[in-house]
Each structure stands twice: as C-alpha cells, then as structure tokens.
Chains A and B, each alone.
Chain A
C-alpha cells in the first residue's frame, strides 16, 4: 500500500514556467523526501525535509512541509525540458532503518 498521494497526476507546462506538485500522507513522519525518475537516470534523490522544517531550498527546487495538514509541495522554478520526469514523494515506512513508502507520482512534461 502507498501512503503518499501526489497531485496532480500529470502536469504539462512550457519551458521557463514554474511547476508545483503536492503530496499528502497519512501518518506522522520525521522526514519527507522527493525523488525524480526518468528513463535516463533512474530514481534520483532530490531533497529531504525534516519534520521540524517548514521550507527548504536546493537550486531551483523549493520544498515545503506542513505537518498539521500532512502535506508537502515541491516547486520547480524556471523549468527546463530536462526536468521532464516523474516526481515522487517518499516517507519513512514506520521503521527505524529507513524503509520508504512512495506515492504514485506526478508526471511532469516540460515543452521546449
């Protein structure tokens, strides 16, 4: 079973626009991670935000976390065609060793 749910399921934008993806989860967490997956590079870790953080930046990525609403968002600014991929949020699966539970993902298409 999957804990996270991403919204929207698919997003299509033009190069240069911003893309926002949302993730909701069900149980209490101590961190949330975002991963990107495309055919060229497989599943790649993007960013981790801890439960005591509300916002985190990494390059063109901005992640927010609202633990009261059990939700997170990923913003990609000034998108590029190379950002075309599936984006997944992942939460710890209730273990001490880091097992991850992934959402279904958002498919992002950036048109040149």
Chain B
C-alpha cells in the first residue's frame, strides 16, 4: 500500500512568512509523529498525535510552531513568522506498533 506522503517536498520562505507542511499518514495508523532534522544531525522529536489528540508537544521549539490533525488522519505542521533557524527537514512518521514509517520529508529553507 501507499506509504507516508508529505508535501511540499521543498519550501523556500522569506523570513517572517508563515508556512504549512502537510503529512498524509498510512491509512489506519493511529499514531503520528513530527520530527525536525537539522543538517548532519539525527531527527529530533517535535510532537505526537494519537488519532486527533495531540498528546505530546514537548519538542516544539517555540510557540511559533503549531500542529493539528483534526480528523485523525492528515496532519499539518504550521510555522508562523519563520526564522532562519527553522531551516531543516521536517519528517512525519506514522506507526502501528513500535516501527515508525517515515515520509520523504519537507526541506524548508528560510532566507
């Protein structure tokens, strides 16, 4: 079946712009995660959803970051007033049990 998809794959934003990143998880997966991956580093946890409930947002770096999953399927990560330090790859993953299945990521560049 289809894997996790993310869009857009690449996003260039001017500093101060708002961006919205979309994640389509594997159908039926209850758990959804967002991670941020800086260049040359491993992914770092941002937030977790179980169905539509956001149960952990401890990794969101600031209140400019907001995530939602209103119907328990598609999720959107929104970054308001982007800053240069927000430049990174944003990865979405969904899981059934312990294994997480990752999307290809959205590479965000803030100029």
Known contacts A97-B55, A99-B48: A45-B42 contact under CB 8 Å:
no
Interface size class of B (residues with CB under 8 A): 20 to 34
B44 near A2: Cβ-Cβ < 8 Å = yes
Residues of B contacting A99 in the complex (Cβ-Cβ under 8 angstroms): 33, 45, 48, 56
Provide the main secondary structure of the chain A interface.
strand
B102 near A42: Cβ-Cβ < 8 Å = yes
B56 near A97: Cβ-Cβ < 8 Å = yes
* Contacting residue for B42 out of A48, A95, A102, CB 8 A: A102
Nearest first, the 3 A-B pairs at minimum CB distance are: A102-B42, A43-B102, A42-B104
Residues of A contacting B35 in the complex (Cβ-Cβ under 8 angstroms): 100, 102
Interface residues of B (CB under 8 A from A): 31, 33, 35, 40-45, 48, 50, 55-56, 91, 93, 95, 98-105
Interface size class of A (residues with CB under 8 A): 20 to 34
Cα distance, A95 to B44, chains bound together (Å) = 15
Residues of B contacting A77 in the complex (Cβ-Cβ under 8 angstroms): none
